[in-house]
Amino acid sequence: MSFLALGVNHHTASVELREQVAFNAERLIALFTKTKQIPTLQDMVVVSTCNRTEVYALTEHPEDVLRWVAQSNSIDENLLLKHVYQYKDLDAMTHLMRVASGLDSLMLGEPQILGQIKTALSLAKDSSMVSSQLHRLFDYAFYAAKKVRSETAVGENAVSMGYAVAQLATEVFSHVSQLTVMIVAAGEMNTLVAKHLAEMGVGKIIVCNRTRVRAEQLAQELSAKVPVEVIDFEALDQNLHRADVISTCTGSLHQIISYDAIKQALKQRKYSPMLVVDLAIPRDVDSKVDQLDGVYLYGIDDLQSVIDENLSQRRQAALDAEVLVSQLAAQFVSQVKVRQAGQQIKHYRAHAEQQREAELKFAQEQLKRGADPAYVMELMSYRLSNKLMHIPSKLFREAAKLEDASHYEWLTDTVDQMILGQRQIKKQS
């Protein structure tokens, strides 16, 4: 059975096409119920995110997998074929390991994809779509992703605005769990900031937005991980002193946080440090705020330069990660071959045991008839030796016939070394 990776991603397909082939959990569960009745599609995992939809399957019929993706999404198969990629066996395993490690992500080194793959595996497993063999492949991919994270710097350093703000907070303040964060404007950028800070385990988040409905919506999204308070936009200045970290991104044409307002907030805080991050263009915060002792003011340009440098470092680290993935993929294939060899050895040993039992029975019958024991032993050893040597002799002859002589040379050299080793052991004993 071959291991197949088939899919589309941000490299091969437009957003529109990726939307067409996207699967959610509810739909997948319903599809799996029908799909597991199809013999060629009984062992597969579907990973579907905003940037990719991929099917990982153990199958000898990749065309059936492609057809399933197309039919499940009412897409013309020929159209899908123009954008889909397919990998098999070692290449498929390498691809899965790269994806799990964040090396194939739009944001190089991002960690979220690993959790998404684990969720996809769990869903397929719960739907009885995952064999022990397929599960073993994913377990090894997870092991590889962990190794890439621990042994390379591909996942280190901030490469998004949200993450960069969160990292700044850890650099300025020693106890993140005690921080109060104020989010001024609940747009896309600040939403990411808030979510990163919530993941880090800050003490509290205050959301301040012109539209209270949107502020309450963001509060609801965050409330499972951190206490959240919503305040009116008009109450911004009066509440600045409560915040250790302020992230603002309003899109206003005028400054909304003045020098005097921050100065007053500092006084109320007894000059305890404040981190103010201005992600807005035009700027939300008076630039003179940077002159105040105890205030750390960062603008979007400051963060972007840090991100660009960090991304460059990640790309360099990604080269090391790619080498490591290749090594781990080769290691996995070697392990598979060893397991397969073990099965073949077991099979050959069973065959040898059958021959031994047959020759022993033959020898016992000869002895019952009164044959000379010495003759019987010599005959049995001769017959057994011939029978056991039949298969290896045939292998040698077949190897000698091959156009590529390397296999025959390896075989003869290996056997010669083993015979020499046995002779040396005999001499020592």
CATH number of the structural domain spanning residue 125? 3.30.460.30
Least confident of 324-333, 340-349, 384-393: 340-349
| Cβ atoms of residues 284 and 189 within 8 Å | no
Q: Are residues 181 and 247 in the same domain?
A: yes
Do both 19 and 131 map to the same domain? yes
The residue that leads in pLDDT, 164 or 144, is 144
Residue-wise pLDDT tens digits, 246-267: 999 998 888 999 999 999 999 9
Identify whether residues 277 and 344 lie together within a single domain.
Answer: no
Instruction: Provide, rounded to the nearest whole percent, the portion of the chain with pLDDT above 90.
Output: 57
pLDDT number for residue 426: 67
pLDDT at 135 over 90: yes
Greater confidence (390 vs 30) lies with 30
Query: Using one digit for the tens of pLDDT, what is the confidence trace for 59-72?
Result: 999 999 999 999 99
Q: Is residue 241 part of a domain?
A: yes
Mean pLDDT (whole number) for 167-189: 90
406 band by pLDDT with thresholds 50, 70 and 90: confident
If asked whether residues 279 and 355 sit together in one domain, one would say: no
Count Cα neighbours of 428 within 13 Å in the Cβ-side half-sphere. Answer: 6
End residue of a domain, out of 135, 155, 175? 155
DSSP-derived 3-state class of residue 9: strand
Q: Is residue 380 part of a domain?
A: yes
pLDDT in tens, 39-57: 889 999 999 987 899 999 9
| One domain, residues 7 and 149 | yes
Q: Is the pLDDT of residue 158 over 70?
A: no
Clarify whether residues 259 and 210 are in a common domain: yes
Grade residue 341 by pLDDT with cuts at 50, 70 and 90.
low
Residue 407 tokens read as 């296999």
Please tell me the predicted confidence (pLDDT) of residue 200: 87
| 87 within a domain of the structure (yes/no) | yes
Task: Give residue-wise pLDDT tens across range 196-205.
Answer: 899 889 999 9
| Residues 235 and 299 placed together within one structural domain of the fold | yes
The whole domain housing 220 covers 161-304
Q: DSSP 3-state assignment of 101?
A: coil
Q: Does 428 fall in a domain?
A: no
pLDDT at 171: 84
Answering whether pTM is above 0.95, one says no
Cα–Cα dist 109/409, whole Å: 44
Number of separate domains in the chain: 3
pLDDT for residue 227 is more than 80: yes
pLDDT at residue 285 tops 90: yes
The verdict on 141 and 227 lying in the same domain is: no
Catalytically active residues are 50
Of 91, 134, 139, nearest to 114 by C-alpha is 139
Q: Looking at the structure, do residues 383 and 397 belong to the same domain, yes or no?
A: yes
Domain-embedded: residue 51? yes
Is residue 194's pLDDT more than 80?
yes
Is residue 343 situated within a structural domain? yes
Average pLDDT along the chain: 89
Q: Are residues 66 and 141 in the same domain?
A: yes
Share of the chain above pLDDT 70, in %: 97
Tell me how crowded residue 157 is: count the other CB atoms within 10 A of its CB.
19
Same domain, 177 and 275: yes
* 133 within some domain: yes
Residues 142 and 171 in one domain: no
In a domain, 320, yes or no: no
Q: DSSP string covering 329-382, please?
A: HHHHHHHHHHHHHHHHHHHHHHHHHHHHHHHHHHHHHHHHTT--HHHHHHHHHH
Average pLDDT over residues 363-373: 91
CATH number for the domain that contains residue 295 = 3.40.50.720
